[in-house]
Structure 1
């Protein structure tokens, strides 16, 4: 059966419109913990089901050489899949754009760079271990027929409750991860506006609004308009380009050079002048 993805994309966007009103990165510690917990939860389900499938098959599918020579894929399709895989790998590197923002929220004692080195080593080691287990066991379970998404593809349908739980964890993780990745963008744009127009009330002042059952709060009009427009635009792009794995590869390729190579090197050179 087919489920209307459009409705779920719109609902995701609506939720993000409200969450985007969180003032800054410092207020996201709860969402960050929730996202990490959800990530480990669905990754555990993924490699657990992969191992169960390997045991059920009684053998390991696939081979170290990748796609076999007698496949119906053309040479062009093989090259495209290889490049798409490299793009998917590169998609993991936008994490580097968050490192400085996270480091900025740390206390100066002990030194932030020392703390971040330990945090990066631990977090990346654990994350890589979990996700590589999912990748290896998924390929061992299905070989060349491994779906792009083991949970929502044709790979697993039983037990249903476990699949539903893992998919729910993915949704919660994406909701929180959207905020973690967007908050540095929001801070950069809003800081630039405040620097250019420091006396503009629309940009720098908050308007008191009374919310039933929640009391009153101050809402910044720039934050309300700009962040809502950002969420609407990204949701619209997601609706226009719904191909999950293909889009990941493209985004990874576009982000890799500026975020991982160019800007870090430029910042290092500028700091040491």
Structure 2
């Protein structure tokens, strides 16, 4: 596989892409002085804007998890479901502003840039917390790429099922295998994974943003149609009813899992620093990032409340885990097909948004450890008809191919949906969205110990830890239930 620099496509789309030197680029004073092509750190000028940052955030935040929110609200009820949605949105925005201020140390230009989440933690906290941050971040990123492979295959299979139900009736036994779809998704990622770095992903994120609005809007529109038809399910302030819809234990575990689903639906802190590193230095990156975070979180919250709330109003306590793939809707089948196709296109881009930090982390480490290795550092250029100039790096080719193959195989072994969404959200939410941003803010702002502000921040961290633990337990219980009923490599 070759790394393809599709400059012709970028320029034709007229999008502001940031370009970045390779990981082993050192500070170049003479280059910086020229002020034309390079930033203050010697790397090629970043050209990211509010628009591109917002697109990255929406790509990371609005995932197919939006379609499971009606199920989550069904478990929690109108009151708790809506309150938890708004609460997680507020917490995510609040802590994202703290994290944005930590991009530079000190927090204003010309402070030293911190290119990754781990770099930020290293600059402000140091010690073992850097390794803990890396474990949480990259473990979560790996989990997200696996989860997106699963979800994309579910949507691809749903397209075939929708056509089958349309032809044979809604009671027909339309059974299709997920594995060919996972393999097809993996093949696409093998090609896209050769995009050299995060800074080249703006065009993918903008496409994904459009796709996410499309399928979320379709889900909302179909739900509204169901509500206006009068054929709606039973809803309530507390959601599913013990003894009617679920047992007492199912109510408890599903509620915990639903909280995890909602937490996952806002998870973008794990790539926030990498997104911010694509921004131009004027105006200041932290100010642009805060505006982009507000726009991204506000936009997605509106869609979440509409999709989750109207979906729950349509299906009530029997709301499916996914409105478009668990067949809450059958007709019009062509619209269901289009919505699921939009989900797949969105997930193709979102996979790269979460995978690129992993790729760059490993490649940076290897470049630093073996700087003389031709296999790791050499770039070979060539021209391909209709594509243009391409570069080949054998290490990048081999390592990224192995990663995509590995995540695809793991997805084939564990193809679960709601439980995985909840588990990923629970695991990533507390350390990366709450603990580290708050701890770094306390250190950066010199918040006085035992002051009212300090106590409030510590209380926020403790409460979110409890929520994460409960959501983790609920998701694990859901996974165990799924494993008991699942036979590997069967439809």
- For normalisation by structure 2, the TM-score amounts to 0.53
Give the counterpart of 1:174 among 347, 350, 354.
347
Greater mean deviation of Cα atoms: 252-261 or 5-14: 252-261
In 1: Cα distance, 2:370 partner to 2:442 partner: 30
In 2: Cα distance, 1:219 partner to 1:56 partner: 57
**CA deviation map 1:207-235 (0-9, x unaligned):** 34564653552111121111111111111
Aligned position for 1:233: 406
Greater mean deviation of Cα atoms: 125-134 or 35-44: 125-134
TM-superposed deviation, 1:85: 0.5
Question: Does 2:286 match 1:113?
Answer: yes
- Structure 2: 5+ residue runs without aligned partners? 1-173, 447-491
Aligned position for 2:298: 125
Question: Does 2:297 match 1:162?
Answer: no
Give the counterpart of 1:11 among 184, 202, 214.
184
Give the counterpart of 1:247 among 402, 420, 432.
420
SS of corresponding position for 1:238: helix
SS of corresponding position for 1:65: coil
Question: Does 2:274 match 1:104?
Answer: no
In 2: Cα distance, 1:171 partner to 1:165 partner: 10
SS of corresponding position for 1:94: coil
Aligned position for 2:363: 190
In 1: Cα distance, 2:231 partner to 2:180 partner: 40
Aligned position for 2:199: 26
TM-superposed deviation, 1:267: 4.6
In 1: Cα distance, 2:226 partner to 2:302 partner: 19
Aligned position for 1:78: 251
Query: Does structure 2 retain, via aligned residues, the 8 Å contact 1:206–1:220?
Result: yes
**CA deviation map 1:52-109 (0-9, x unaligned):** 1001126673111111244152221111101110111121343011211111111111
Question: Does 2:248 match 1:51?
Answer: no
Rg: which structure is higher?
2
Give the counterpart of 1:94 among 240, 259, 267.
267
TM-superposed deviation, 1:250: 1.4
Query: Does structure 2 retain, via aligned residues, the 8 Å contact 1:54–1:140?
Result: yes
Query: Does structure 2 retain, via aligned residues, the 8 Å contact 1:241–1:247?
Result: no
In 2: Cα distance, 1:246 partner to 1:223 partner: 33
Query: Does structure 1 retain, via aligned residues, the 8 Å contact 2:245–2:317?
Result: no
**CA deviation map 1:27-72 (0-9, x unaligned):** 1110010000000000000011101100112667311111124415
Query: Does structure 1 retain, via aligned residues, the 8 Å contact 2:233–2:318?
Result: no
In 1: Cα distance, 2:383 partner to 2:399 partner: 21
- For normalisation by structure 1, the TM-score amounts to 0.93
Aligned length: 273
TM-superposed deviation, 1:191: 1.2
TM-superposed deviation, 1:119: 0.8
In 2: Cα distance, 1:63 partner to 1:147 partner: 16
Greater mean deviation of Cα atoms: 69-78 or 28-37: 69-78
Higher relative contact order (CA 8 A, sep 6+): 1
Greater mean deviation of Cα atoms: 76-85 or 38-47: 76-85
In 2: Cα distance, 1:33 partner to 1:2 partner: 34
In 2: Cα distance, 1:198 partner to 1:272 partner: 38
Greater mean deviation of Cα atoms: 140-149 or 220-229: 220-229
- Structure 1: 5+ residue runs without aligned partners? none
Root mean square deviation, CA, Å: 1.9
Greater mean deviation of Cα atoms: 110-119 or 68-77: 68-77
In 2: Cα distance, 1:257 partner to 1:193 partner: 30
Q: 1:232 to 1:174 in 2, by over 3 A?
A: same
Query: Does structure 1 retain, via aligned residues, the 8 Å contact 2:242–2:251?
Result: no
Query: Does structure 2 retain, via aligned residues, the 8 Å contact 1:47–1:137?
Result: yes
